[in-house]
Amino acid sequence: MTTPPDPVSIRPRLWPRLRGVAGVLVALAATLLGLLLVTFVIGRVVPIDPVLAVIGERATQAQYEAARLSLGLDRPVWEQFAIYVRDALTGDLGTSIRTRTPVADDIRRFFPATLELATLATIIGVILGIPAGVLAATKPGSLLDQAVRLIGLIGYSLPVFWLGLMGLLLFYGILGWVGGPGRLSSGYEMMFEFDVPRVTGMILIDTALAGQWAIFRNALSHIILPAGVLGYYSMAYISRMTRSFMMNELSQEYITTARVKGMPEWRVVWVHALRNVQVPLITVIVLSYATLLEGSVLTETVFAWPGLGLYITTALFSADMPAVLGGTVVVGMVFVGLNMFSDILYRIVDPRAR
């Protein structure tokens, strides 16, 4: 007969875990509250009258006062902030002045394009960056090492918009190897609109699920160049950090011991050393992914990519502050979510972090 565990003995083991979870939740709530506070303050200090932005400059004084009351601008600032937090937590990010639709609906329509582009670019960066960094670290000072460092330096130095324009000129304008700006060619946009069910909002996934391979190939020809440009930038960062992590790890005593014992070099490098740099690499990859999600504005502008970055930029030029602030809140929440995701991966990869 099995004796049930003593609740008193379980409590000391359970309490640190509960305390850790509570600490994470408190930190998450504080971060989101700070993000909402910053966007609220920005919305109040910009030299744009939110009432005039809604009703126009030709409105009468009576219309102005009525709109001011409906927007709640006559209430104390703390009460306005409380209402702002309540609306944001319920998914109400206001109404876009430019599109006259809820900002949340606009973001749901534009964000999948950014997610698709950033995900493919990160995959390219990881597939190319990690092996390049590992190989460069195994032969420091060699021609391979210098080539990897030079490619990374170029990726850091060249402006993304210039690289995108040159890519369009060469691969689309001259060689015709890729599709042009946008997510689809004009003829395929109609086919996608009527023949492909919306599942994720990402064209490559939705067309593959629907078996529409002609549209899939056309979408792939359009995304490969902007994803390659962003992937090159991501690869430069990942390869440089991987090289640094691996060079430090390959100098450790356990690596020397493994080599002395006759362990194959490929196993020393690709199994033992690479396994021990997984945790810092997770941070690098997640930060690179978050940067592409929030910082692909120039790339989306150059390639007319209808993503969240282009949406926020267009709203900014139109003085559409609800759209700008709503997009900023979403980007901040995504960044916080990815950081939490990286913390979870830490605990999975490294037992010492559990």
Round to whole Å and give the CA distance between 345 and 354.
10
The residue among 89, 120, 147 that closes a domain is: 89
Out of 30-44, 120-134, 323-337, pick the least confident: 30-44
pLDDT, mean of residues 57-61:
71
pLDDT attached to residue 179: 87
Question: Tens digits of per-residue pLDDT, 230-265?
Answer: 999 899 999 999 999 999 888 888 888 888 888 888
Q: What average pLDDT is seen over the chain?
A: 82
- What distance lies between CA 301 and its chain's CA centroid? 17
Beta bridge partners of 2: none
Q: How many Cβ atoms from other residues are within 10 Å of residue 199's Cβ?
A: 10
When mean pLDDT is compared across 42-51, 115-124, 127-136, the lowest value belongs to: 42-51
CB of 95 closer than 8 Å to CB of 102: yes
Looking at the fold, whether 55 and 125 belong to one and the same domain comes out as no
Q: What is the pLDDT of residue 18?
A: 61
Picking from 89, 113, 138, the residue at the C-terminal end of a domain is 89
Same domain, 310 and 200: yes
One domain, residues 204 and 321: yes
The size of the chain, in residues, is 354
Query: Domain with 217 in it: what CATH number?
Result: 1.10.3720.10
348 burial type by CB count under 10 A (0-12 exposed, 13-18 middle, 19+ buried):
exposed
When mean pLDDT is compared across 159-163, 201-205, 235-239, the lowest value belongs to 159-163
Kindly state whether residues 216 and 349 are assigned to the same domain.
Answer: yes
For residues 132 and 47, membership in a common domain is answered with no
**Do 74 and 115 fall within a single domain?**
no
Q: Which residues contact 350 (CB under 8 A, 6 or more apart)?
A: 278, 279
CB neighbours of residue 100 within 10 Å? 7
**139 pLDDT tier (thresholds 50, 70, 90):** confident
Cβ atoms of residues 327 and 289 within 8 Å: no
Residue-number span of the structural domain to which 22 is assigned: 16-89
Total structural domains within the chain: 2
Q: Which domain-ending residue is among 35, 55, 89?
A: 89
Residues 139 and 80 in one domain: no
Report which listed range, 230-234, 258-262, 269-273, 319-323, is most confident: 230-234
Q: How confident is the model at residue 54 (pLDDT cuts 50, 70, 90)?
A: low
